[in-house]
Amino acid sequence: MSMQTVWVVDDDRDYCQLIAEVLEDDYELRVFYNARDYEVAIHDEHPEVILMDINLPDKDGITLCKELVENGTDSSVLFVSGMNTLDERLRAYDAGGVDFIAKPFELKELIAKTAAVASYQAKKKMLKQSESMSRDMAFQSMTESSQYGSVMQFFRQCFLCDNFDDLAKAFFDVMQQLNLKTCLEIRVGEPKYYVPENTAISPIEANIFELLDKQGRLYDFGSRTICNDKHVSFLIKNMPLDDEVLYGRLRDVIAVIIEGLEARVLDIQRQQTLQMVLDKIQGLLAGVKTSIMENDKRFSKALTNITTDIRGSFHVLDMTLEQEEYFSGLVERHLKEANSAGDAFVRLQKSLNSVIQEIESGQ
């Protein structure tokens, strides 16, 4: 562990030599005999502890300490003064000093106070680092929460999309929230390419999809990443490769997004296929219904003509009344059976229409 840096600013060379002999084994020590040399050095270096004499010939230590605080330099000042009065101590405190030691002092007191100030400075530095780390972690957590919130919103929006164009729009919305520039390919039948704001995809990007859509789930090249599934790929053009934490988090997020896209594409494809089948069935039923109605008309007309002709021929056949009634009943019975067969088809047609309605309501 490196030693803490202690600066001594005092025009009394004898005191400076004494302080150096006492402290040089435990600290990295540097001595200044005037304010001018100290002010030049403080621009480039920042010691942990400064033993500052209040009464310097060119500028007093109180002013130097105030300037140190105003400039935001994170050093702890231990004031040294030949005046051990309450007013002097209050001035030192108001200027931002951490402690005060009066001349002449005991060496044990100097060692103890310097060690106490150095310990205070070390704890203050540790707390500042911890605060910075906590702030970074809090910011990272908020960022992650925002990103996953965007992904959840994307999934909710996906369920409302019933075509690929709407799905692509929802995808570009979440990519914009993640500050990612992308283009999208959906491979159902002929590949379809999508870019934000309905601009055209460049030929080289289309060629990249063709070459890399079999290169695994995530494939990095340069500052770009292509994400693949069986029916979906999207190209990210600005992956933050220089930020390892953000890059790793985004890879996790886009891996989830590609799975959601794939699932919704398959669902839309299934719905579209089912709708095509339903349309064809409805078309067939409409055609069959028309044909049956035409056949019913012709069949009914034919039976009516047959019945009329038979009844009109009874006097020619010279049948008895019983024979005429028997023959008429036979014809009427078969006519009823023919009509019953037609009614059965109508019931079947109604049942099929009911099934179609249930399927459509469940889509």
Sequential pLDDT tens for the chain (363 residues): 578 899 999 988 888 888 888 898 899 999 999 999 999 998 888 899 999 999 888 888 999 999 988 888 888 999 988 888 888 888 888 888 889 998 888 889 989 999 999 988 888 888 777 655 655 454 454 455 566 677 778 888 888 888 988 998 988 988 888 888 888 999 988 889 998 876 677 888 888 888 887 878 888 887 888 889 999 999 988 888 777 877 888 888 888 888 888 988 898 888 888 878 777 777 777 776 777 677 767 767 766 776 676 666 656 666 667 766 776 676 667 666 665 555 656 666 666 667 666 655 655
- Residue whose structure tokens are 């055209």: 200
Q: Could you tell me if 98 and 20 lie in one domain?
A: yes
Structural domain for 102, as ranges: 5-133
Asked whether the whole model's pTM tops 0.95, one would answer no
CATH code, domain carrying 156: 3.30.450.40
How many whole angstroms separate alpha carbon 195 and alpha carbon 213? 17
CB–CB of 308/204 below 8 Å?
Answer: no
How many Cβ atoms sit within 10 Å of the Cβ of residue 140?
Answer: 13
Q: Could you tell me if 24 and 118 lie in one domain?
A: yes
Domain edge (last residue) among 133, 148, 173: 133
Domain edge (last residue) among 242, 269, 296: 269
By the 10 Å C-beta count (0-12 exposed, 13-18 middle, 19+ buried), 98 is classed as buried
Query: Cα angle at 256 between 252 and 257, to 5 degrees?
Result: 115
Strand ordering across the sheet containing 182-187:
191-194, 182-187, 232-236, 224-228, 218-221
Number of domains in the chain: 3
